[in-house]
């Protein structure tokens, strides 16, 4: 009897562990390769010491394994890491993981990947798998801005920042106002050992408090209400609670609410109003330790902290396999590469809320896709693309995405192939057809909101 198809999962972080559990439950054979010496991914050593999630305990845990009720509403980095370790131990997932092992190269065995994929490891081994699930995260490939001139002081990326000791005795400019940049600026302002703190923003943002009426904002999504009405209500609330950005010396948002990630931070504006953080516009040029801003002002700093985000990168894959849009790959269902079989990209979504339930449901969707692909002689991505064209849209609502995942799973149940040959189906197989409702944004998410940009 032929052995069961085996799959390779890259990464044992939030997404990789959720996939492993779903595959284990479905009886799908798999191996996991994790370059670190423990589970946890970004939570193991990729965030600063004082990180707390900006979603919430109830919205961030896996559906099948909630976070402990003893955790606070916004668990710390260490608590999230302990939770992920507990999840791996509870389901016995460590036995599938090869720690300290990274993937160097992934190549299809045939032009469309139908025969499988070759995985080359850092120890030189070359292994063949039916398919590969890429869950290596996207908070690791540092993005740096380009400005005229050069800076002669110290620089570090938010990825490399651990605590305020890194900035002791210095005049600090945080460049970038994502959630990471705002958190670092606040932590620096709280320190008595840092001379001065400023934050440079290229554009305006919406600033949301972590809680409204004592409820974490991540738990306030109203799936029954049209998105335009949700925006209207939230904007009205912000006008009363926060007021216009101009009162804080900050630019007005240049985008609509939820078109970009809002900043979930209850302290930045407070410290700006107390004179502990100085708001600055975008940088025009650098000259030694002097930073010139676009409003004509300038100031000297000792350290620049680049809180400028991350690139989406798959160093072990040929990037020409993808069609890219604004730095993101265009994927079918945000999971599959058009014209390729048995290659799945898991974890790029950036949900407006906690990621755990989406990972749980997305992993079950992945099981369905893998099992359907086993019965097809063409890439399943091309079949699904008939009603869901490739997209690079990754900022989504949680409830909207969960509904879309379940809608796709129901459609996959209707894909009952008539075998034309062992292991295949007829190319003119009847398939579910698009409906007037569409299938917006079904996908699997990034690994939760950490406060990282």
pLDDT at 55 over 50: yes
Largest CA distance in the chain: 75
Paired tokens of 113: 């990947």
- 84-94 average pLDDT score: 98
Q: Which residues on neighbouring strands pair with residue 129, listed in sequence order? A: 117
**Spacing of C-alpha 48 from chain mean position:** 17
Closest CA to 18 of 45, 41, 1: 41
Quickly tell me which residue has 């845990």 as its tokens.
Answer: 61
- Which residues fall within 8 angstroms of residue 425, CB to CB, at 6 or more apart? 375, 376, 377, 417, 418, 419
169: burial class by Cβ within 10 Å (0-12, 13-18, 19+)? exposed
Is 416 a residue whose pLDDT tops 70? no
Token digits of residue 50: 């004082």
Q: Which one is predicted more confidently, 332 or 395?
A: 332
- The phi and psi torsions of 175 (rounded to 5 degrees) equal -105, 110
pLDDT tens string 3-23:
679 999 999 999 999 999 999
Q: Is the pLDDT of residue 165 over 70?
A: yes
Alpha helices in 242-340 (DSSP H): 268-273
pLDDT at position 3, please? Answer: 64
pLDDT beyond 60 at 383: yes
Domains 6-140+311-425 and 144-308 share a fold: yes
Q: Token pair for residue 279?
A: 């708001």
Per domain, the residue ranges of the chain are 6-140+311-425, 144-308
Secondary element (H or E) of residue 420: strand 419-421
Q: What is the CATH number of domain 144-308?
A: 3.50.50.60
Question: CB atoms < 10 A from the CB of 160, how many?
Answer: 13
Contact 443, 349 (CB under 8 A): yes
Residue 318 has pLDDT above 50, yes or no: yes
Backbone φ, ψ for residue 58 (5° rounding): -70, -25
Across 47-52, average pLDDT: 91
Poorest-pLDDT segment among 55-59, 275-279, 393-397: 393-397
Which pair of tokens denotes residue 36?
């670190």
Q: What is the residue whose two structure tokens read 């079989």?
A: 341
- Decide: 12 and 32 in contact? Cβ < 8 Å: yes
Sequence-separated (6 or more) residues with CB below 8 Å from residue 4: 27, 28, 29
- Cβ neighbors of 424 (< 8 A, separation 6 or more) are 375, 376, 377
Please say whether the structural domain 6-140+311-425 has been given the CATH code 3.50.50.60.
yes
With beta carbons less than 8 A apart as the criterion, state whether 367 and 335 touch. Answer: no
Q: What is the mean pLDDT of residues 170-185?
A: 95
Q: How confident is the model at residue 421 (pLDDT cuts 50, 70, 90)?
A: very low
Percent of the chain with pLDDT over 70: 91
231-251 pLDDT, tens digit each: 898 899 889 889 999 999 999
Is residue 426's pLDDT more than 90? no
pLDDT in tens, 108-163: 999 999 999 999 999 999 999 999 999 999 889 999 999 999 999 999 999 999 99
Which helix (H) or strand (E) segment holds residue 198: the answer is: strand 196-200
**How many Cα atoms are found within 13 Å in the side-chain-facing hemisphere of 257?**
17
Two structure tokens written together for 430: 């009847």
Mean pLDDT, residues 391-405: 87
Asked if 333 contacts 443 with a C-beta cutoff of 8 angstroms, the reply is yes
Whether the per-residue pLDDT at 451 is higher than 80: the answer is no
Tokens of 353: 């809320």
φ, ψ of residue 3 to 5 degrees: the values are: -70, 155
User: What is the pTM assigned to this prediction?
Assistant: 0.88
Specify the higher pLDDT residue, 226 or 319. 319
Dump pLDDT digits (tens) for 266-286. Answer: 899 999 999 999 999 999 999
**Pairing assessment for the beta strands 196-200 and 215-216 based on DSSP bridges:** unpaired
Calculate the alpha carbon distances from 289 to 149, 151, 188, 298 in Å: 11, 6, 19, 10
- Following DSSP, what letter does each residue of 60-109 receive, concatenated? HSBTTBPPPTTS-SS-BHHHHHHHHHHHHHHTT-GGGEEET--EEEEEES
Residues in the chain: 453
């Amino acid at each position: 009897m032929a052995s069961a198809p085996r799959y390779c999962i890259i990464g044992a972080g939030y997404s990789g562990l959720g996939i492993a559990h779903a595959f284990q439950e479905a009886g799908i054979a798999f191996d996991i390769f994790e370059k670190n010496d423990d589970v946890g991914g970004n939570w193991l050593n990729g965030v600063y010491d004082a990180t707390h999630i900006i979603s919430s305990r109830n919205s961030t845990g896996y559906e099948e394994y909630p976070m402990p009720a003893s955790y606070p509403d916004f668990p710390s980095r260490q608590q999230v890491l302990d939770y992920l370790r507990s999840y791996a131990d509870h389901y016995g997932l460590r036995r599938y993981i090869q720690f300290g092992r990274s993937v160097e190269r992934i190549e299809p065995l045939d032009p469309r990947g139908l025969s499988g994929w070759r995985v080359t490891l850092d120890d030189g081994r070359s292994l063949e798998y039916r398919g590969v699930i890429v869950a290596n995260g996207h908070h690791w490939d540092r993005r740096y801005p380009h400005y005229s001139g050069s800076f002669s002081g110290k620089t570090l990326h938010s990825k490399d920042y651990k605590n305020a000791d890194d900035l002791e005795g210095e005049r600090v400019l945080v460049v970038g106002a994502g959630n990471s940049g705002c958190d670092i600026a606040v932590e620096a302002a709280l320190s008595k050992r840092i001379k001065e703190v400023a934050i440079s923003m290229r554009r305006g943002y919406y600033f949301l408090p972590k809680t409204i009426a004592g409820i974490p904002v991540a738990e306030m999504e109203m799936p029954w209400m049209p998105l335009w009405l949700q925006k209207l209500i939230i904007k009205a609330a912000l006008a009363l609670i926060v007021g216009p950005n101009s009162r804080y010396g900050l630019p007005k948002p240049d985008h609509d609410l939820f078109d970009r990630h809002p900043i979930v931070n209850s302290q930045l504006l407070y410290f700006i109003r107390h004179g502990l953080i100085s708001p600055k516009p975008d940088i025009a040029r650098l000259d030694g330790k002097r930073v010139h801003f676009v409003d004509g002002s300038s100031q000297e700093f000792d350290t620049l902290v680049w809180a400028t985000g991350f690139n989406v990168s798959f160093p072990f894959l040929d990037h020409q396999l993808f069609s890219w849009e604004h730095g993101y790959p265009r994927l079918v269902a945000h999971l599959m590469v058009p014209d390729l079989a048995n290659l799945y990209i898991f974890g790029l979504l950036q949900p407006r809320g906690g990621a755990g339930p989406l990972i749980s449901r997305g992993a079950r969707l992945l099981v369905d896709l893998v099992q359907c692909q086993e019965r097809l002689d063409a890439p399943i991505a091309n079949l699904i693309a008939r009603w869901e064209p490739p997209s690079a849209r990754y900022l989504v609502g949680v409830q909207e995405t969960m509904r879309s995942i379940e809608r796709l799973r129901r459609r996959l149940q209707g894909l009952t192939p008539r075998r034309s040959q062992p292991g295949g189906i007829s190319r003119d197989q009847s398939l579910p057809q698009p409906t007037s409702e569409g299938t917006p944004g079904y996908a699997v998410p990034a690994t939760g909101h950490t406060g990282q940009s």
